[in-house]
Structure 1
Amino acid sequence: MATRRLYVVRHGAADPFGELTDVGRRQSELVGERLAGLPVDTVWHSPLTRAVGSARIIGGHLPGVAVRAAAELADHVPYVPDEMPPAWAGFFDGYDAAEAAAGSALADALIRRFARPAETGTHEVLVTHAYQAAWLLRHALDAPPARWLGLNCGNTALTAIEYRDGADPTVLSYNDMGHLPPELRWTGFGPGTRP
């Protein structure tokens, strides 16, 4: 087995209908420019419109690199805790057992497909959603399942994780927005100080 390097990117900012905004397109351009310096083999993306749009823009900066859909990257809630943290009770209100089971199955599929060493050395970009970036980080750190809650990453923030045979995953960076000017750095999750 060889080293798999994942560059997990949350999609650019989108409108309520899931279409990239002008800001989201600019964010995607900037992360694409940043990734252009890496030996990327494939850009994988969620099937949702905002991720597809971001992946196409990113792929435009990576000539000859395949841009492909991966169902495992779709936006979903990966884990619903049995004992709900009070701050999250409203978030899960009305979330039923069938939805929780479907989300858990998709989260397991995401880990099986991407969170492991590869047959040959590879550099892969995953254009996905905040919850999936949080779930991959939580898994790499071997943190409890509920720890994905509150790991909010910014639009087009970059998380880099390496998977090598015989070793624990290595988190190289999380929520890195260094490619974005300050006015484009934001998570999209509520008010607060912009990093």
Structure 2
Amino acid sequence: MPTLSRLQKYTIIAVGTVSGAGLFYYNVYGKGEEVAHVANSWTTDFVPSVTWDSNWDRRDPKSLVKPMKKVTEEAQNKYNEQLEQHKAKTTRHLVLIRHGQYNLKGKNDAERYLTELGRRQADYTGKRLAELALPFSLIVRSTMTRAQETSKIIEKSLSDVPTEDDILLMEGAPIPPEPPIRHWKSEWQYFQDGPRIEAAFRKHFHRASPHQTKDSYTLLVCHANVIRYFVCRALQFPPEAWLRLSLKHASITWISIHPSGNVSLRCFGDSGHMPPEAITTNQ
């Protein structure tokens, strides 16, 4: 019986699986003709229930360049050059902030101003953002009172960052949730608010321009329903799942949109920068 050399010892390959880590052993014996085949998770016949749409923002280079009429070497080279010109090269980071606690007894927007606690929450968040030292290039604010007040407090900690207002970011009912809410809400509100909130998503969520030379960081100060809907849309989750997510007041949500069109949720509703007694959700 032949003896094993040092290079013919038993080898252990750890392969990650959906249910956990599985250990597969095979014996590299003799000349190795009988080595077992180990299937990685991405080589199995698993069929995902939902596939990722890489052209969700309609900015995939292949959707921006006119297809070739005739496939020749010259046409192919020109086509490839145009594809390269339309490729994003940097990452867009969107940091979404929910407004602070506000006066729930207000009968109109002007009366739904921040409470004293809401102002403190905004201040905590502003200081946290300053500690992160991200190179914010723009702060975009909802035009509603509580978002405007929250942003202006945050802006004290982020000096010299330009601001702009966006009416599309106002609070609303984006889409009928599933499971349904317990209290009745008329369909016209979803019919009215949904297209506006979807327009806000399409305006702010997309991969970087091909001309962008470095990663960008944009701060959006808006509302819980808007942020929850944005997260579902960006991650290609069912948008009607938005109400299953919960957000603390003045919390931080961070989404990154990569050049490939892939999207990463870096954090959702982070409120760890506040003391426990300052953390609230609905009040």
Please give the range of the TM-score, normalised by the shorter of the 2 chains.
Answer: 0.7 to 0.9
User: What is the DSSP-based 3-state SS (H/G/I as helix, E as strand, rest coil) of the residue aligned with 2:244?
Assistant: coil
Deviation at residue 140 of structure 1 after TM alignment: 2.2
Return 5+ residue gaps in structure 1 as ranges.
190-195
Return 5+ residue gaps in structure 2 as ranges.
1-87, 107-111
The aligned counterpart of 1:33 is 127
The aligned counterpart of 1:51 is 147
User: What is the DSSP-based 3-state SS (H/G/I as helix, E as strand, rest coil) of the residue aligned with 1:156?
Assistant: coil
| TM-score normalised by length of structure 2 | 0.62
Cα distance in 1 between the residues matched to 2:273 and 2:185: 38
Q: Determine which structure has greater relative contact order: mean sequence separation of CA pairs < 8 Å that are 6+ residues apart, divided by chain length.
A: 1
User: What is the DSSP-based 3-state SS (H/G/I as helix, E as strand, rest coil) of the residue aligned with 1:178?
Assistant: coil
**Conservation of the 8 A alpha-carbon contact between 1:44 and 1:70:** yes
| TM-score normalised by length of structure 1 | 0.88
The aligned counterpart of 2:269 is 175
Aligned-residue Cα RMSD (Å) equals 1.5
Cα distance in 1 between the residues matched to 2:94 and 2:202: 14
Cα distance in 2 between the residues matched to 1:154 and 1:187: 5
Cα distance in 2 between the residues matched to 1:152 and 1:44: 22
Q: Sort the Cα spacing of 1:188 and 1:94 in 2 relative to 1 into closer, same or farther, 3 A.
A: closer
Q: Kindly name which structure, 1 or 2, has the bigger radius of gyration based on alpha carbons.
A: 2
| 87, 94, 112: which one aligns with 1:6 | 94
CA shift digits 1:52-92 (9 cap, x unpaired): 000011111111111221112100111015xx635x141xx
- Give the ranges of 4+ consecutive aligned residues of structure 1 lying more than 3 Å apart after TM superposition: none
Cα distance in 2 between the residues matched to 1:173 and 1:149: 18
Cα distance in 1 between the residues matched to 2:248 and 2:195: 25
The count of residues paired between Structure 1 and Structure 2 equals 183
Question: Is 115-124 or 71-80 further displaced after alignment?
Answer: 115-124
Deviation at residue 4 of structure 1 after TM alignment: 1.1
The aligned counterpart of 1:155 is 249
